[in-house]
Chains A and B, each alone.
Chain A
Amino acid sequence: MKHNEPMNATRKPRRSPSLPKALTGIQGLDELTGGGLPKGRPTLLCGSTGCGKTLLAMEFLVHGAVEYGEPGVFMAFEENAEELAKNFASLGHDLKALVAQKKLVLEFVHIERSEIEETGEYDLEGLFMRLGRAIDSIGAKRVVLDTVEALFSGLPNAAILRAELRRLFRWLKTKGVTAIITGERGETSLTRYGLEEYVADCVIMLDHRVEGQMATRRLQIVKYRGSTHGTSEYPFLIDEGGISILPVTSMGLKHEASTERVSSGVPRLDAMMGSKGYYRGSSVLVSGTAGTGKTSLAAHFIHAAAVRGERCLWFAFEESSSQIIRNMRSIGIDLEPAVRRGTLRIHAERPTMCGLEMHLVIMHKLVNQFRPRVVVIDPVTDFAALGQEWEIKAMLTRLVDFFKMQQITALFTSLTAGRAFVESADVGVSSLMDTWLLLRDVQNGAERNRVLHLLKSRGMAHSNQVREFLLTDHGAELRDVYVGASGDLLTGSARNALEAQEKAQTLVRGQETEGKKRELERKRHALEAQIAVLRAEFEVEQAEEAKTIEQDQTRASVLAGDRVQMARRRQSDARAAGKTPKRK
């Protein structure tokens, strides 16, 4: 069978434009197959026991009957109509009502091996007639044979059966019905009896594997002649809504990049990113060690979005919904009104509930249902227990791509263990992220304080500064940090102490200036006093000088008077004598 593949591949381009398809109505499958199963042709659905073959086949019929106006025949070889109706009632399908409306026929073919004896050549005309009548009774367009291989265990002579099955599938084609033939998985071939040899148009394989005690169902399109299809294995989910398959084909790096910005909910953090916050549709990683405030930062982001009226979805893997609400209230964020309004949905679940891919499917489903604009996953690291590192990275890649395609801004928190190389622990994940915030605790003396780094933020200018991250009763706050004398970051009370110290220094400096001023004043005063003294001395000197001069003059005049008297007495000079009395 495998060697046929290349031939089919060359045939593809010629046939694909006109290949009509029948929608299955199963979430994800129609996207994978590019519009459903090949119309008017049989499709082989193989897989091991309990992997969901019957369910998928029945959903194909029910959706056809209800949504696409294509009635269907379900020919069961293992369960009777009563059992089928009962089994599908739990999935919300009322098969009996569909039968009554002539949209569905349930045919139970019972083969009891112990009753049968082969006595010669035979054919399966009885089966043909029965199927033909069932198809004609409601004008069926879809047929399921589940599982036709029961014939092999019931009827002898495999050679005849093979020939008859080949005829049956040809006959189905001429009937123009879109058929699903289910087959049990064989050990060396796709089906135990090699049905894939006869059904060559489309082969879908279902698988139910258990890895690390986690069961995951997967679907693979092994072959689809004349159509392109994804060949990977896609996980699928069976729940009360039936089957949903993860539409991985719709992913890739094709998303539109928005220039719109959304607030992180912390003004100072927005300020670090050019005052605007994250890009809409970007993915944000908040990583940090335990208790550094990752969830609080997420709560801020969610709260801001809820206040803007955007729908938010919170996947919580460690806390219950009410626990988150209570805890966030303690830092002044009340999420409850948003929950009550229906703007915020908290989906709390233990990660060990199911396997990695099942989580992915559940997330997809919820996102598709709820259509949020903002999603928080808290924390992604809880998935680590569910798979290998590459598996987790692959899952996150899909998740990130999915969110981006939907223009959902997603915030992932990541718990990093160990304090030494906080950055390196997230490297695998961080390359997927557009913005990476790292929360860290710094030990100073006897306390630990939180600091926030904005490690990267694609496509925007952002601050390279470390900020102290405080959780107060009115929310998260960012503060500048101090760098101590030895180059350490100073946070918390050390920062407070430093602040106080600086204040004291300022005071001292102020006092010093004041002192200097006073000193100057004093000097000036002293100078002035000195000047005054000098002046006083000078004045004294001056006064004494004046006195001396006067005394000298007095002495001179006395001397002159004496000389006159003496001259008068001697009568030597009459003229001089005559002048002298005038001066008196």
Chain B
Amino acid sequence: MKITKAKSATTAFEQSLAKPGRPRYRLRLYVAGMTPRSAHSITNIKEICEVYLKGRYDLQVIDIYQQPVLAEGDQIIAVPTLIKKLPLPLRRLIGDLSDRHRVLIGLDLKPKQ
């Protein structure tokens, strides 16, 4: 399971290199149960992805209660946390993703002023 994941990550990385202008995004959103905040963050990221990354993103939503080992592996302390695994650099977006401006900066979709 892990190996295939790693492979797919590698391919994704290669793909992103191949198309320098429009890299492919690999995102993972950790939430804690189905709280309103969790739901809110899921809605937010999906909306952003559809607007800015249409067709070039993979989004995984993980409940830390369901997959605690995965959460520990990713050093999840705060929830919700969105991890931008690709393109590099790795970034953690903490919070319910309601501050769209900051989310776009965090995803390198908008330059920092």
Contact = CB atoms under 8 A, between A and B. Distances in A.
Measured as residues with beta carbon below 8 angstroms from the partner, the interface class of chain B is: 20 to 34
B12 interface: no
Given A125-B32, A125-B64, A126-B64, A119 B103 contact: yes
A111 interface: yes
Interface string B38-74: 0001001000000000000000000011001001100
A156 B78 CA distance: 11
A122 B95 contact: yes
Contact of B78 (A110, A115, A133, A155): A155
A119 B98 contact: yes
Contact of A126 (B44, B79, B96): B79
Interface string A110-132: 11100111111111111101100
A155 B95 CA distance: 11
B104 to A, nearest CB: 10
Interface residues of A, number: 24
A109 B75 contact: yes
B30 interface: yes
B95 A121 contact: yes
Contacts of A116: 91-94
The winner among B78, B90, B92, B102 for most chain A CB atoms within 10 A is: B78
Nearest to B75: A110
Contact of A129 (B32, B94, B105): B32
Contacts of B106: 117, 119
A130 B93 CA distance: 19
Given A110-B75, A111-B77, A119-B96, A126 B32 contact: yes
Q: By DSSP majority rule, is chain B's interface helix, strand, loop, or mixed?
A: mixed
Contacts of A156: 94
Nearest to A126: B76
Contacts of B91: 115-117
A151 interface: yes
A115 B97 CA distance: 15
Given A124-B77, A127-B77, A117 B65 contact: no
B37 interface: yes
Contact of A117 (B41, B64, B68, B92): B92
A117 B77 contact: no
Contacts of B95: 118-122
Among A110, A112, A122, A123, the most chain B Cβ lie within 10 Å of the Cβ of: A122
A112 B102 CA distance: 18
Contacts of B90: 115
A125 B80 CA distance: 9
Given A117-B92, A122-B80, A155-B78, A129 B98 contact: no
Interface string A317-347: 0000000000000000000000000000000
* Residue among A109, A123, A133 with most chain B CB within 10 A: A123
Contacts of A127: 77-78
Contact of A119 (B30, B77, B99): B99
B92 A120 contact: no
Given A129-B68, A130-B71, A130-B72, A123 B94 contact: no
A111 B75 contact: yes
A124 B94 CA distance: 10
Contact of B77 (A118, A120, A155): A155
B89 interface: yes
Contact of B99 (A120, A123, A151): A120
B54 to A, nearest CB: 20
B102 A117 contact: yes
23 contacts: A115-B91, A115-B92, A116-B94, A117-B102, A118-B94, A119-B96, A119-B98, A119-B102, A120-B99, A121-B98, A122-B37, A122-B94, A122-B96, A123-B32, A123-B37, A124-B79, A125-B32, A126-B71, A126-B77, A126-B79, A129-B64, A130-B71, A151-B77
Given A119-B99, A155-B78, 8 more contacts: A115-B90, A115-B92, A117-B92, A119-B97, A122-B79, A129-B71, A130-B68, A130-B72
Interface of A: 109-112, 115-127, 129-130, 133, 151, 154-156
